[in-house]
Amino acid sequence: MQVKINIDGGSRGNPGPGASAYVICDMHGTILSQEGYFMPHCTNNQAEYTALKLALLKAAELQATELFIQSDSLLLVKQYLGEYKIKNPDLAARMKIIRRLATPFQIHIQHVLREFNKAPDALANKAMDAKESVGFNPLSYVPNDEEIIPQSPTPDNLVNGIEVKPVVRKKKTSKPIEQPDLFTDL
């Protein structure tokens, strides 16, 4: 099933109270789901990333297969497409979750101007005003990140992200190596 998704996120104070929002429609424009997800403390970028994460979760719940996603966050779109590097470690961790969630879908994502993204913006503002999540046919369950990508225990032998092992050297023989005399044959 193909769906159209518009996402938005915002924060008042940056960081401060914020919200993420998504609107999912079928290809004829019928709304299948929309949600403004309240976040007590976040940055604008964290809210934008969370909006994409929530939209992917809901698309899976709706059994969608092909997603046409629009966002007014140029940063999010360019980072998702790999055109911009993700320097912020928190956003990099969020993108790892998003990429895991995106694997079952065929995704088309594009940047749009704010005036073409009014519905999720209105939902995000409504959630921030109410200080609670609002919506129609919202997500039934939002897993935590460890459920999406299980965290393996960090071994004690990691250095710079690479596992290191003790070096095992062969023992020296008990017979010392003799230095040849270089001057006796002259």
Domain positions in the chain: 2-140
Percent share of the chain, pLDDT over 70 = 84
How far, in Å, CA of 63 to CA of 105, rounded?
Answer: 10
Mean pLDDT, to the nearest integer, of 2-25?
A: 96
pLDDT the model gives residue 144: 87
How far, in Å, CA of 44 to CA of 113, rounded?
Answer: 16
Q: Which CATH superfamily is domain 2-140 in?
A: Ribonuclease H-like superfamily/Ribonuclease H (3.30.420.10)
94 neighbors 76 (Cβ within 8 angstroms): no
Beta strands per DSSP E along 72-172: 106-111, 134-136, 158-159, 162-163
- The model's confidence at residue 141, banded by pLDDT at 50, 70 and 90, is confident
pLDDT the model gives residue 77: 97
pLDDT the model gives residue 161: 65
Query: How much is the pTM?
Result: 0.80
Q: Which of 63, 20, 56 is nearest to 38 (CA)?
A: 20
Residues 93-137: tens digit of each pLDDT: 999 999 999 999 999 999 999 999 999 999 999 999 999 999 999
pLDDT exceeds cutoff 60 at 186:
no
